[in-house]
């Protein structure tokens, strides 16, 4: 499979800072239907995320994925839009030989990407960047079930007020990942302003469990922070 070609680097970093300087939210006059007023790509982009993945339409030929994530001390912040864990250097997702260093992971309630029309109650996004400035996001969906140890760490340490940061020790990151790395892969965008495109998206097929009370605890702090589904526009989706 040909590798996706896109240039982000400093431009993406600056655009994210620009987005932070504008008021946006998930409802009301600054909600998703109005993001395009300040961030034109949110309105006119043709490879926007999240999407509904129709499994029967997925093609073969997905890239191989290896995750080299380990337990680390990290910082956890409530940035007013999500609960985000900022990770130290040295943790990687290897996608067809390309190494994407993990920068952070964050949560959405409910989930954003759908599979065959079904949206999960919770989704975590692992955001990585390679040495050339290219970005990849790995999405993991949750199902309601048993308590998740790593999620419990997050809940116990997360700031409940916006623009606050705490420290979290020995993050059990691998408990936020399923055993199988089979996935759906496609080109997409940031799911928040400025909706930058050219992001390599990987949505893992196998969900992981979290208890109802854990999902509710995150939702209580973050609120509804999921962008509505966007048009697929005949995008190629590959699977393994």
4 preceded by a cis bond (ω within 30 of 0): no
pTM here is 0.91
CATH of the domain at 37: 3.10.200.10
Contact 203/53 with Cβ under 8 angstroms?
Answer: yes
pLDDT at 3 over 50: no
Q: Which pLDDT belongs to residue 90?
A: 98
More confident residue, 18 or 145: 145
Q: Which of 19-33, 167-181, 202-216 has the lowest mean pLDDT?
A: 19-33
Give the whole-angstrom CA distance, residue 7 versus residue 3: 13
Range list of β-strands (E), 161-218: 164-168, 183-189, 197-204, 208-210
Q: Which pLDDT belongs to residue 17?
A: 41
Tell me whether strands 52-53 and 208-210 are parallel, antiparallel or unpaired.
unpaired
Active site annotation includes 22: no
Q: What is the DSSP letter of 180?
A: -
- Which of 141, 131, 140, 129 lies closest to 196, judged by CA? 129
What are the pLDDT digits (tens) for 106-123? 999 999 999 999 999 999
Q: Which domain holds residue 219?
A: 9-239
The answer to whether position 201 is within a domain reads yes
- Which of 161, 170, 140, 205 lies closest to 70, judged by CA? 170
- Which of 111, 135, 123, 148 lies closest to 200, judged by CA? 135
Cβ-based neighbour number of residue 54 at 10 Å: 14
Residues composing the chain: 240
Q: How confident is the model at residue 22 (pLDDT cuts 50, 70, 90)?
A: low
pLDDT at 2 over 50: no
**Interval 1-27 mean pLDDT:** 51
**Interval 83-88 mean pLDDT:** 99
Give the whole-angstrom CA distance, residue 19 versus residue 192: 9
Give the whole-angstrom CA distance, residue 213 versus residue 151: 11
pLDDT at 232 over 80: yes
pLDDT at 21 over 50: no
Which of 22, 81, 125, 161 is an active site residue?
81
Cβ-based neighbour number of residue 18 at 10 Å: 13
Q: Please, what is the angle between helix 212-222 and helix 149-157, to 10°? A: 30
Region label for 116, one of left (φ > 0), alpha (ψ between -120 and 50) or beta (otherwise): left
The answer to whether position 188 is within a domain reads yes
* CB environment 102-124: b (16+ within 10 A), e (fewer): bebbbbbbbbbbbbeeebbbbbb
Q: How many domains does the chain have?
A: 1
Calculate the average pLDDT of the chain. Answer: 93
The answer to whether position 3 is within a domain reads no
The answer to whether position 4 is within a domain reads no
pLDDT at 200 over 90: yes
- Which of 48, 35, 52, 27 lies closest to 223, judged by CA? 27
DSSP assignment string, 71-125:
---EEEEE-SS-EEEEPPSS-EEEETTEEEEEEEEEEESS-SSEETTEEPS-EEE
The answer to whether position 214 is within a domain reads yes
């Amino acid at each position: 499979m040909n590798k996706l070609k896109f240039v982000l680097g400093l431009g993406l970093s600056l655009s994210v800072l620009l987005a932070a300087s504008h008021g946006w939210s998930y409802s009301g006059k600054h909600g998703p239907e109005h993001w395009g007023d300040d961030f034109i790509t949110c309105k006119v982009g043709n490879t926007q995320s999240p999407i509904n993945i129709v499994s029967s339409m997925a093609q073969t030929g997905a890239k191989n994925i290896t995750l080299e994530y380990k337990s680390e001390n990290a910082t956890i912040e409530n940035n007013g839009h999500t609960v985000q864990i900022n990770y130290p250097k040295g943790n990687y997702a290897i996608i067809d030989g390309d190494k994407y260093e993990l920068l952070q992971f964050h949560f959405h309630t409910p989930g954003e990407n759908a599979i065959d029309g079904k949206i999960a109650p919770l989704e975590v996004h692992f955001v990585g960047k390679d040495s050339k400035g290219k970005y990849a996001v790995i999405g993991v969906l949750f199902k309601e079930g048993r308590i998740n140890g790593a999620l419990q760490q997050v809940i116990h340490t997360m700031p409940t007020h916006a623009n606050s940061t705490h420290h979290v020790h020995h993050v059990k990151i691998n408990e936020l990942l399923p055993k199988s790395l089979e996935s759906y892969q496609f080109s997409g965008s940031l799911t928040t302003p400025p909706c930058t495109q050219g992001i390599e998206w990987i949505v893992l097929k196998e969900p992981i469990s979290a208890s109802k009370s854990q999902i509710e605890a995150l939702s209580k702090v973050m609120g509804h922070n999921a962008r509505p589904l966007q048009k697929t526009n005949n995008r190629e989706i590959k699977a393994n």
